[in-house]
Structure formats: C-alpha cells, structure tokens
C-alpha cells in the first residue's frame, strides 16, 4: 500500500511516499480503508522528534493521527464492527499511520462515523474532538456557568473546544487574530480577545479554566486570568509527572517530566491554581459521545482546506504556517 513516511526525525525532514506492507490484524483489530485523514500540529511535533523519548516509534514511520474510512476486515474477537461500516478514529499513540491507504485500528479506539458528515468532515474530528473532550469534560469537569479561556480559538482544537464548552453551558473567551474575531464569535465564543490589539491577561480575570495550546509566555500569563482554585490545562507542555505515571513511563522519565514542569507548577501553586498537562489518548467510547453531539447539531466540523493524498507533504507545510482555520485534510477518494 502507498503511505507517507519519515525515516528520521528533524524539522526539515520531508514526508516520503513509500510502498509499505498492508497492516496485519490482531484479534481485536479492525482493518480500515482510509478515505480521508486529518493533518495536525501533532504531526509536526512527531516529525521533529519532540516525543521520541516517550513514544519510541520504529522508523520508517507512517505518519498521520486521525482518519475516516470504511471497514474492510475485522479480527476474530471484534464484535462492534463489520465490513462496510463507515468509521472514524484517532488510532492509539503507538499505532499511528493515517497517511496511508489502510490502517489497523484497535476496536476500542474506533467509532461509527457521524451519519451526515462527509469522510473529509469526519476525519477532521477525532484528534481535536478527543482533546477538547478530555480537557473540558474529563480533566476539568467543566460546569454550566463557569468561565473558560480557550487559546487559539481559530485552530483545530480551539474551534472544537469553543463549541463543546458552549454546549456544556460555559461562558467562553478566546484569543485569535484580527481577521478571525467575528468568525470565532459565530462558533460560539462570548468574548474574543484580538491578541494583536490587547493583552488577554490584562482583560480577563476570575476564570475557572484556561485551555492552553501555545508557548511558555502565554502559559505563564494565563495564570493571571484564573481565580483561586482554577485550572490551567496545557496541551503544548511542559509535561508533568502525573502524565508520566498515566503513560506508564519509567521512574527516570517521571523525574524528568517533574523537572520540566517544576517552574510552572510552582508559579501555579503560588497563585492557588492547578497546572496539568494533557496528551490526549484514543477512545472509541468518547468518540461515540462526540458523534451524538455532531448528529444533534451541537458540534459542527470546521475544515479549512482539503488536499489530495499525493500532496500530503504540502498539506503538512500549510499546517506549519499556523494560518489554518480549523482542520486541514488529505483525501484518498
């Protein structure tokens, strides 16, 4: 099968189209013919080698972290899916590979595709949808009437998190550039801070939660927005010891993660707030819940551009510009 791979890590490494063997199915696996795949900033971080300490991938590595497609074959113990089912997924961390014609996905990581979405729309959801769900619902337990700041509201995670937070009944503030202010308001944001004109930390106060996807400077400024007892959740790091424990990493890596996050945790504690790092995980059950919200019209996928599969490298380069509104997709059909 054709697949886009890397054979080494590095910021200037280009994806190469490669002929790879079709995946071998385990008893609990589902073989999916991929129709569309999402392109994410996470792909850039993996390419650059940012996760090679905690995710020791075997090279050459097939890239790609979310997909939509059709079931071709199922393992002997699979009960929920059958050939012909239209499905979508964020595959498990150690089994990525959506930039390919086929992928084997663990049954528990797969969900039926929302019925009224195209494959391209469906492929835009799994990674960012699960990130938003695990941050807002699972980690923060966001309640009706609480106030949340979602950074980078026009990005993939931001567009999904704004909609989910509004569905949960929260008051939502977000940051974005001048060109996207009215657009993110239409997604549901109650208050939009144009970062080119205003400093969010001088405008916002008394928030229950901040979801950060930006750099260290924004992370530290976000502490000023939170009220005592508030929560700062970051998907861009630094990782903490709790993450290392949940990921089953070694004692040495737990120590390293603790040291990496020591500074921000100390500053958070001084202000009476909690810092935590989120690296989302695959979950078919949570995707089923997100599917219900999509089918009910509470969440609408946001697709910026669709590239043909042959232009996967160009799609990744476009994501790297940071200008995408919502998700970038490659299509195989």
- Walk along the chain (333 residues) in steps of 10 and give the mean pLDDT of each run: 97 96 97 98 95 87 98 98 98 96 98 97 98 98 98 97 98 96 96 96 98 95 98 93 84 87 95 96 98 97 98 98 95 92
Per-residue exposure over 161-191, b if at least 16 CB sit within 10 Å of its own CB, e if not:
bbbbbbebebbbbbbbbeebbebbbebbbee
Cis peptide before 60 (omega within 30 of 0): yes
pLDDT at 254: 87
* CB 306, CB 329: distance < 8 Å: yes
Calpha distance 158→187 (Å, rounded): 10
> Residue 176 has what pLDDT?
97
Whole-number pLDDT of residue 84: 98
Could you list the beta-strand ranges (E) of 178-318. Answer: 191-194, 207-212, 226-234, 274-277, 303-308
Confidence (pLDDT) at 237: 84
| Cα gap 125→111, rounded to integer Å | 12
- The three-state DSSP-derived secondary structure of 111-131 is EECCCCCCHHHHHCCHHHHHH
Tokens 């790297």, located at residue: 320
pLDDT given for residue 189 in this prediction: 98
3-state secondary structure at position 61: strand
CATH architecture for the domain at 127-277: 3-Layer(aba) Sandwich (3.40)
Q: Are 140 and 301 in contact (CB under 8 A)?
A: no
Neighbour tally for 134: CB within 10 Å: 19
So where are the chain's domains?
2-124+301-331, 127-277
Q: Determine whether domain 2-124+301-331 maps to CATH 3.90.180.10.
A: yes
pLDDT of res. 250? 87
* pTM of this prediction exceeds 0.95: yes
In contact, 213 and 156? CB cutoff 8 Å: no
pLDDT for residue 56? 81
Provide the residue count of the chain: 333
What pLDDT score does 242 carry? 87
CA distance 289 to 131: 13
First to last CA, the chain: 14
């Amino acid at each position: 099968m054709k697949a886009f791979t890397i054979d080494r890590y590095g910021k200037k490494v280009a994806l190469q189209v490669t002929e790879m063997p079709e995946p071998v199915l385990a008893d609990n696996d589902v073989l999916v013919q991929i129709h569309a795949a999402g392109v994410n900033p996470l792909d850039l971080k993996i390419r650059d080698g940012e996760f090679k300490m905690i995710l020791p991938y075997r090279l050459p590595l097939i890239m790609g972290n979310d997909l939509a497609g059709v079931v071709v074959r199922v393992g002997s113990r699979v009960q929920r899916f059958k050939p012909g089912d239209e499905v979508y997924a964020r595959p498990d961390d150690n089994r990525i590979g959506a930039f390919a014609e086929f992928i084997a996905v663990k049954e528990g990581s797969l969900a039926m595709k929302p019925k009224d979405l195209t494959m391209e729309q469906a492929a835009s959801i799994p990674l960012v949808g699960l990130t938003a769900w695990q941050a807002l619902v699972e980690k923060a337990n966001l309640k009706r009437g609480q106030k949340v700041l979602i950074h980078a509201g026009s990005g993939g995670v931001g567009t999904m998190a704004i909609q989910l937070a509004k569905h949960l009944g929260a008051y939502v503030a977000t940051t974005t550039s001048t060109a996207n202010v009215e657009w993110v308001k239409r997604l549901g944001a109650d208050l939009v801070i144009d970062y080119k004109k205003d400093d969010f930390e001088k405008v916002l106060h008394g928030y229950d939660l901040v979801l950060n996807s930006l750099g260290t400077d924004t992370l530290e400024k976000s502490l000023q927005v939170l009220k005592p007892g508030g929560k700062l959740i970051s998907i861009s790091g630094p990782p903490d010891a709790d993450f290392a424990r949940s990921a089953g990493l070694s004692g040495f890596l737990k120590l390293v993660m603790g040291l990496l996050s020591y500074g921000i945790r100390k500053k958070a504690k001084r202000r009476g707030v909690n810092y935590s790092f989120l690296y989302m995980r695959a979950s078919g059950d949570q995707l089923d819940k997100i599917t219900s919200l999509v089918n009910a019209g509470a969440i609408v996928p946001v697709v910026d551009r669709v590239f043909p599969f042959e232009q996967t490298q160009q799609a990744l380069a476009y994501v790297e510009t940071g200008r995408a509104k919502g998700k970038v997709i490659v299509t195989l059909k």
